[in-house]
Structure 1
């Protein structure tokens, strides 16, 4: 099953034109993140990573500056807070 997911992601990268791919809110694209987790940690962890990214990589996020650390962070729709190291650079420039 692990090989099937990895193959499907590689086919996605190969077959889908760049101009048709959606722009991810995370620094590492969702497909690259899921591919890496699946390859390193296995099928179930890969599915969990896919589910997490699927439900959070959409509108409904909020970028804010943490008043305590003065660091830019993002609140995801699932109420998880991520640091600026994981936020796409294009969102940090705005």
Structure 2
């Protein structure tokens, strides 16, 4: 990295997001234990109980490593992501 400061950017994106209350990891469906994976997906339970729990893929879990208290985020193009609470709350305001 050079001593020159990197360019600064400001976010202007509109997203849909839910604060994560808890994450229920799905068990290995192979009862024999012969197959293994780092994740089998999960069920995210939103912090706001008026929203239903929903499934996320194993790929989402492995890529984003979501944690309770953070945010499940969906961009306008449908891309699903995760943001830690402090990062999300400092960058987005509810519309």
Alignment TM-score > 0.5, same fold = no
Larger radius of gyration: 2
User: As a proportion of its length, which structure holds more strand?
Assistant: 2
Higher RCO, 1 vs 2 (CA within 8 Å, ≥6 residues apart): 2
User: As a proportion of its length, which structure holds more helix?
Assistant: 1
State the TM-score, normalizing by the size of structure 1.
0.30
State the TM-score, normalizing by the size of structure 2.
0.30
